[in-house]
Structures are given as C-alpha cells and as structure tokens.
Amino acid sequence: MTRVSLAWTLVLAFVLAPISAFAQQVEPGEWEFVTEITIPGLPRPQQAGVRMCLTREQARDPINWTAHHSQPADCRITSIKLGPDAASWAMECPESGMRGAGKARIGQGSLEAELQIGGGNSVDMRTKTQGRRLGPCTQ
C-alpha cells in the first residue's frame, strides 16, 4: 500500500468513526468528500476525493461508509468528546507506534474534519477533509 493510500484509509477510518456518534445530522443524498493529505517528503499536499450516495440507513451509520477500506488492526479511538454538531478525539496504534488526534464538525449539508497522525517509523501526516451534500442521489 502506498503512503497516500494508507493515509486515505486512515483518514476515512478515523474521521468518520467519531462522526457516527452525532450522525443524525448527516442528510441522506449525494455527497462529495475531498481530503488534502500532507506528508513530509512529498513535494506538495495530495488530494483525494470520493462521491457517494448515502441512503437514510448509511447516513445514520458513517462507519459503514468505509467498510470496504481496511485499517490497521491495532488502531483504536482512545478518547472522544462530542457536542451537538462537533466531535474531537484521540487515537493510537500501539503496534505501529502511531498516535493522532482529530476534530470534525457537521453543518447543514456540510462536513469539515482535520486529523493528525504520526509517530515511530510510520506515517507523519495532517489531513483536512471537506464534505458537502450535492443534492438527492442521482442513481
């Protein structure tokens, strides 16, 4: 797995996991998520994007949005603080020596999140994700 692929997988896993706790605010429909990933050694930040149609059931459970992505088995959320439209959390991956922290905010038809992961001999990265609802699903 490339460094950017690993970064995207971690972003999806650790940005969306805490959001499930206040997912009642995520509207079903067509969504677009764009993440800017900054990793030392890369000449410039990398961008990755995805569009997806979220059903009512999926909008209630963001963990399932990333079901097709794998994450390191040793990674887990260690603490989480929730507000009515925001979350912040800490995570760690003991086997790989990584630690991180993130925060996310959901607004009317929008999502913003930031994540920082680093440590040991592993990836040291910062990410910023912007999500927006485009409208009803077109499929």
* DSSP code for 56: H
Structural domains of the chain in order of their starting residue, each with its CATH number: 3-135 (2.40.128)
Phi, psi of 18 (to 5 degrees): -65, -25
> Which pLDDT belongs to residue 68?
42
* Cross-strand bridge partners of residue 38: 126
pTM above 0.85, yes or no: no
> Which pLDDT belongs to residue 73?
66
> Which pLDDT belongs to residue 70?
47
Burial of 41 (0-12, 13-18, 19+ CB in 10 A): exposed
> Which pLDDT belongs to residue 74?
75
For the chain, residues with pLDDT lower than 50 are: 1-6, 8, 66-70
> Other CB atoms closer than 10 Å to residue 92's CB: what's the count?
19
> Which pLDDT belongs to residue 67?
43
